[in-house]
């Protein structure tokens, strides 16, 4: 069930000191304030300056003023978040933020050494993520939506507000009399996520008032199923070898073959095949019955190729 913001923060137990990703917006402002109240002297804010819009400098100034008034240390990281050709702006910004966080880790060896980073994604963000995944025909990894905690680059990340609705965050902020900035890009409905927020979520709330709870349960079930598939893939990869031996791949059922191939490509090369690419790769593996059968197939940002008895992936 959805929680109030105080309930969510009361249940949050990260390793301290805690770093809060602080954009200056409503959600991260609420998270920063609530965490600072719970752990005085143990909270550090980090603001990532993406440099993508004219208001970015104003966001930074606002964050500096708020943190100075609260006597909270603030680190500002400036990044180049411009998307590469074919990359979505959201993905480019997300990757730039992670790089900024990871760059801070070796620099903060003193009082506020980074152990945990809290980000302010909430229940509505989780619903948007799940609906986006459904619209793209995603499998279990996409339908699992966002995890509440994970580790990347040696840093432990947390999303303590995933069960708190956006309107509850705004209500709590109003009670606190806290100032925050509104990112104008959040109102631009040319972005799919913003259209979902403005049009789809209100319609769902009207038809299914408990949709945040029920869809979150579905995402949790998908995450549990994905965790099981991951265990099976790890076991199967040990059996077929790295790089995989084609004859051993041929002994697997179609479902287990697809599962282990996805895991091998993602864990080893951060390569995610399309459904069509994976289907064709599996077809060619099944057809590989003679010593002279060649295999060379585009998969993600590289190629799968037969080399003797083994299947290899490379990026030229």
Residue 132 scores a pLDDT above 80: yes
Structure-model confidence comparison of residues 134 and 115, the more confident one: 134
Listed range (80-94, 177-191, 199-213) with the worst mean pLDDT:
80-94
**What is the mean pLDDT of the segment spanning 120-133?**
95
**What is the mean pLDDT of the segment spanning 201-212?**
94
Residue from 269, 259, 265 nearest 227 by CA: 259
Residue 14, CA distances (Å) to 18, 66, 76, 152 in order:
7, 23, 22, 15
**What is the mean pLDDT of the segment spanning 105-128?**
77
| Crossing angle of the two packed helices 254-269 and 211-240, in degrees rounded to 10 | 90
Confidence class of residue 106 from pLDDT cuts 50, 70 and 90? low
**What is the mean pLDDT of the segment spanning 34-45?**
95
Give the integer Cα–Cα distance in Å for 129 and 90: 12
**What is the mean pLDDT of the segment spanning 46-65?**
84
Give the integer Cα–Cα distance in Å for 312 and 277: 15
- The pLDDT > 90 percentage for the chain reads 71
Geometric angle at alpha carbon 68, from 63 and 69, rounded to 5°: 100
pLDDT on residue 154: 78
pLDDT on residue 107: 54
**What is the mean pLDDT of the segment spanning 204-215?**
94
Residue 208 scores a pLDDT above 70: yes
**What is the mean pLDDT of the segment spanning 99-122?**
73
Residue from 197, 184, 173, 183 nearest 29 by CA: 173
Structure-model confidence comparison of residues 182 and 63, the more confident one: 63
Listed range (55-59, 169-173, 219-223, 274-278) with the worst mean pLDDT:
55-59
Residue 43 scores a pLDDT above 90: yes
pLDDT digits (tens, 9 = 90+) for 217-271: 999 999 999 999 999 999 999 999 999 999 999 999 999 999 999 999 999 998 9
**Token reading at 274:** 């399309």
pLDDT on residue 192: 85
Listed range (182-196, 202-216, 294-308) with the worst mean pLDDT:
182-196
Residue 81 scores a pLDDT above 70: no
pLDDT on residue 57: 84
Please tell me the pTM assigned to this model. 0.84
């Amino acid at each position: 069930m959805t929680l109030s913001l105080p309930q969510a923060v009361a249940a949050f137990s990260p390793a301290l000191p805690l770093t809060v990703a602080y954009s200056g917006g409503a959600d991260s402002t609420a998270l920063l304030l609530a965490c600072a109240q719970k752990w005085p002297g143990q909270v550090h804010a980090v603001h990532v300056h993406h440099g993508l819009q004219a208001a970015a400098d104003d966001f930074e100034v606002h964050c500096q003023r708020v943190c100075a008034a609260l006597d909270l240390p603030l680190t500002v990281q400036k990044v180049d978040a411009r998307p590469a050709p074919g990359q979505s702006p959201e993905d480019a910004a997300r990757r730039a933020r992670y790089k900024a966080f990871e760059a801070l880790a070796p620099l903060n060896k003193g009082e506020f050494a980074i152990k945990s980073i809290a980000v302010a994604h909430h229940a509505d963000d989780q619903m948007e993520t799940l609906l986006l995944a459904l619209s793209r025909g995603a499998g279990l990894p996409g339908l699992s939506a966002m995890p509440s905690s994970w580790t990347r680059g040696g840093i432990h990340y947390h999303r303590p507000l995933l069960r708190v609705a956006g309107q509850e965050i705004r209500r709590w902020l109003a009670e606190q009399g806290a100032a925050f900035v509104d990112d104008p890009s959040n109102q631009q409905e040319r972005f799919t996520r913003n259209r979902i927020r403005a049009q789809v979520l209100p319609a769902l709330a009207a038809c299914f008032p408990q949709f945040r709870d029920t869809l979150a349960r579905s995402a949790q079930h998908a995450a549990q199923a994905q965790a099981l598939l991951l265990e099976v893939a790890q076991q199967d990869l040990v059996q077929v070898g790295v790089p995989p031996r084609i004859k051993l791949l041929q002994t697997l059922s179609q479902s287990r073959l697809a599962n282990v191939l996805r895991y091998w490509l993602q864990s080893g090369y951060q390569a995610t095949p399309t459904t069509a690419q994976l289907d064709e790769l599996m077809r060619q593996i099944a057809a590989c019955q003679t010593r002279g059968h060649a295999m060379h197939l585009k998969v993600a940002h590289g190629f799968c190729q037969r080399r003797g008895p083994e299947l290899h992936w490379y990026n030229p």
